[in-house]
């Protein structure tokens, strides 16, 4: 499971690079042209009508000239959509917008078709193909043209929605759902559960300053076994690492007499992938932070869009309901020398609702929907969730009492928050 998570982590980083898929399609295009020549050399006879060189060259010339224009148009449209998404939602959602599969596939298809047409046209004009090769080349050209048309139609519909705020919210929600499912599938990453909030032992410090993006638990287990030590992780994905902030603690076995100061900690430190930014993959809290930022921006005086903030609150309830679902089967402990703490529900609820509670305290409809959302969380079968929601409800009520001007509005919010005063 850890190996799969590691592969998925690096695959997701590649998806955030716009050059990867176009490069792959360029290679495929070159292979497709070579396949026509290989078919000709294999001696296979094609029972299709003879296609003149002029007809194929004309079709390839049309495709080559139009694909370059469409590819340029696609890049301009994507950049505009990315800018719109970053300004209307939050810059933290940019990674999700960039990794949109349909847009990347469209750009890759257009560039791949352009490369295919240029290489095929050059080969055809150089008399590189005989009759069979020209027939195969024509067939491939028709297939590529059909793929381009279908991709363009689908992409036009997608690009019209890509930069919209509701599309950004949906992408962040889906990314957070995926992170929650992965975390709930193996909350301890097949390691031991750390019970002490302040673990003892020798602290280990990272050499880089940034955010923990991924933890290689398998490498930690190998290091711990080789050195006869136990490791307690102190920095989960999403934690900020800086000088003086330990990322792990090393405990020495009772029977081990070696000096812990002589241990090589480099492999242990390298098990933490640290980057400049937080990522969604293994950090459910980051999804709540980004959604909270979107709602908070919607509540700013310059935007004044309480409806979007209310929509985000609905996303929060769905995500916390997903988090509260029972775990079907707890994975067996494979890494018995590694201890991992649990995510704090109080911190997650705080990440989700504090900004909306603070900046929406003077807006009645937002406060009412916030209290209803928190009440929904208390009805979930999770005692920690209930306590965290009640604490957040009382804090939000106190803020609303300070910001709302009319006593009647304060009374409505107090009525909506009545559940937090029940024993």
In the prediction, which pLDDT does 373 show? 94
Task: Provide the angle, in degrees to the nearest 10, between the axes of the packed helices 2-15 and 217-227.
Answer: 140
Helix%, strand%, coil% for the chain, nearest 5 = 65, 10, 25
Q: How far is CA 202 from the centre of its chain?
A: 34
pLDDT in tens, 79-102: 777 777 667 777 777 777 777 667
Residue scoring higher pLDDT (389 or 94): 389
Residue scoring higher pLDDT (63 or 259): 63
Kindly tell me if the per-residue pLDDT of 138 is higher than 90: no
End-to-end CA distance of the chain: 43
Beta-strand pair 229-233/335-340: parallel
Structure tokens at 224: 């711990």
In the prediction, which pLDDT does 143 show? 85
In the prediction, which pLDDT does 321 show? 94
Distances (CA, A) of 196 to 199, 340, 421: 5, 10, 31
In the prediction, which pLDDT does 207 show? 85
pTM: 0.79
Helix (H, G, I), strand (E, B) or coil at 256: coil
């Amino acid at each position: 499971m850890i190996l799969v998570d590691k592969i998925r982590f690096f695959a997701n980083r590649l998806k955030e690079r716009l050059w990867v898929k176009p490069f792959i399609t360029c290679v495929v295009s070159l292979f497709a042209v070579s396949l026509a020549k290989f078919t000709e050399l294999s001696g296979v006879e094609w029972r299709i009508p003879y296609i003149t060189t002029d007809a194929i060259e004309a079709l390839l010339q049309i495709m080559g000239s139009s694909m370059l224009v469409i590819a340029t148009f696609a890049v301009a449209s994507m950049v505009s959509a990315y800018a719109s998404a970053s300004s209307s939602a939050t810059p933290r959602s940019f990674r999700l917008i960039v990794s949109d599969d349909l847009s990347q596939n469209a750009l890759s298809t257009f560039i791949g078709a352009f490369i295919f047409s240029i290489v095929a046209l050059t080969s055809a004009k150089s008399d590189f193909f005989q009759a069979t090769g020209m027939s195969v080349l024509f067939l491939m050209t028709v297939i590529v043209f059909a793929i381009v048309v279908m991709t363009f139609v689908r992409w036009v519909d997608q690009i019209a929605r890509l930069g919209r705020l509701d599309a950004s919210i949906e992408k962040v929600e889906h990314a957070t759902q995926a992170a929650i499912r992965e975390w709930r599938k193996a909350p301890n990453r097949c390691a031991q559960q750390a019970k002490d909030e302040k673990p003892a032992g020798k602290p280990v410090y990272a050499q880089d300053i940034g955010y923990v993006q991924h933890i290689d638990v398998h490498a930690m287990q190998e290091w711990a076994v080789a050195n006869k030590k136990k490791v307690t992780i102190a920095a989960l994905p999403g934690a900020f690492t800086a000088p003086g902030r330990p990322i792990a603690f090393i405990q020495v076995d009772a029977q081990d007499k070696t000096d812990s100061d002589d241990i090589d900690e480099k492999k242990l430190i390298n098990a933490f992938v640290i980057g400049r930014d937080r990522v969604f993959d293994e950090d459910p809290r980051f999804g709540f932070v980004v959604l909270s930022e979107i709602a908070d921006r919607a509540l700013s005086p310059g935007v004044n869009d309480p409806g979007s903030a209310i929509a985000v609150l609905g996303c929060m309830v769905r995500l916390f309901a997903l988090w509260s679902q029972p775990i079907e089967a707890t994975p067996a402990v494979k890494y018995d020398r590694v201890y991992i703490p649990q995510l704090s529900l109080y911190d997650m609820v705080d990440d989700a609702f504090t900004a909306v509670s603070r900046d929406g305290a003077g807006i009645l409809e937002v406060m009412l929907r916030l209290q209803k959302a928190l009440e929904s969380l208390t009805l979930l079968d999770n005692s920690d969730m209930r306590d965290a929601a009640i604490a957040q409800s009382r804090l939000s009520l106190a803020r609303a009492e300070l910001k709302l001007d009319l006593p009647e509005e304060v009374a409505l919010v107090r009525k909506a928050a009545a559940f937090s005063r029940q024993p």
